Amino acid sequence: MSKTISLLGATGSIGLQALDVAEKLNYTVAAMAAGSRVEPFEQQIRQWRPSLVAMADERAAADLKVRIADLPTKVTAGPDGLCEVAAIPEADVTLNSIMGVAGFLPTLAAIEAGHDVALANKETLVAGGAVVTAACAEKGVRLLPVDSEHSAIFQCLQGRPPQGKPQKLILTCSGGPFFGKTKADLEAVTLEQALAHPNWSMGLKITVDSATMMNKGLELIEAKWLFDMEPDAIDVVIHRESIVHSLVEYADNSVIAQLGVPDMRIPIQYALTYPDRYPSPVKPLSLAEAGKLTFFAPDHETFPAIELCRAAIKRGGLYPAAVNGANEQAVALFAAGKLPFASITPLVSRIMEQPWGEATSAEAVLEADRESRALLLELAEA
Packing angle, helices 78-86 and 104-112, rounded to 10: 40
- Residue 176's φ and ψ, nearest 5 degrees, are 70, -170
Task: Round to whole Å and give the CA distance between 84 and 96.
Answer: 13
For residues 73 and 87, what is the distance between their CA atoms, to the nearest angstrom?
16
Ramachandran assignment for 333, one of left (phi > 0), alpha (psi -120 to 50 degrees), beta (any other): alpha
What is the edge-to-edge ordering of all strands in the sheet holding 168-173?
Answer: 234-238, 168-173, 244-249, 255-259
Terminal-to-terminal C-alpha distance of the chain: 57
Q: How far is the CB of 254 from ligand NAD (least distance, A)?
A: 27
Q: Rounded to the nearest whole angstrom, what is the least distance from the CB of residue 149 to Mg ion in the complex?
A: 5
Q: Taking the complex as a whole, how short is the minimal distance between the CB of residue 201 and ligand NAD, in angstroms?
A: 7
Position closest to ligand NAD via CB: 12
- Peptide bond preceding 275 in cis form (omega within 30 of 0): yes
Rank residues 149 and 263 by Cβ distance to Mg ion and give the closer one: 149
Check if the beta carbon of residue 93 is closer than 8 Å to that of residue 144. Answer: yes
Q: Is 98 in the site for ligand NAD (CB under 6 A)?
A: yes
Exactly one of 61, 85, 88, 99 binds ligand NAD (CB under 6 A); that residue is: 99
- Asked if residues 201 and 16 have their Cβ atoms less than 8 Å apart, the reply is no
The one-character DSSP state at 262 is S
- Comparing CB distances to ligand NAD, the nearer of 206 and 364 is 206
200 with 174: CB under 8 angstroms?
Answer: yes
Which helix (H) or strand (E) covers residue 17, if one does?
helix 13-25
Find the binder of ligand NAD among 19, 21, 82, 244 (CB under 6 A).
82
Q: Is 302 in the site for ligand NAD (CB under 6 A)?
A: no
Answer yes or no whether residue 328 interacts with Mg ion by CB under 5 A: no
Q: Mask of contacts with ligand NAD, 188-227, x by CB under 6 A? A: ------------x-xxx-x---------------------
CB of 9 to ligand NAD, least distance (A): 3
User: Residues 147, 263, 299, 371: which binds ligand NAD (CB under 6 A)?
Assistant: 147
271 binding ligand NAD? (CB under 6 A): no
Strand runs labelled E in 150-276? 168-173, 234-238, 244-249, 255-259
Distance CA 250, CA 254 (A): 6
x/- map, 311-350, ligand NAD, by CB under 6 A: ----------------------------------------
Q: How many residues in the shown chain lie near Mg ion by CB under 5 A?
A: 3
Closer residue to Mg ion, CB minimum distance, 71 or 204: 204
Residue 213 near which of Mg ion, ligand NAD, none (CB within 5-8 Å, type-dependent): none
Q: Are 50 and 29 in contact (CB under 8 A)?
A: yes
Q: Which is nearer to ligand NAD, 202 or 339 (CB)?
A: 202
* Cα 324 → chain centroid: 12
The mark string for 114-153 relative to Mg ion (x by CB under 5 A, - otherwise) is ---------------------------------xxx----
Closest alpha carbon to 263 in 20, 79, 71: 20
CB of 174 to Mg ion, least distance (A): 9
In the complex with ligand NAD, the residue whose CB is nearer, 204 or 285, is 204
The nearer residue to Mg ion, 135 or 171, going by C-beta atoms, is 171
Among 29, 52, 85, 102, which residue interacts with ligand NAD (rule: CB under 6 A)? 102
For the chain, strand residue ranges (E) read 4-8, 28-34, 52-55, 74-77, 93-96, 116-119, 143-145, 168-173, 234-238, 244-249, 255-259
Q: Which residues bind ligand NAD (CB under 6 A)?
A: 9-15, 34-35, 56, 82, 97-100, 102, 120-123, 147, 200, 202-204, 206, 264
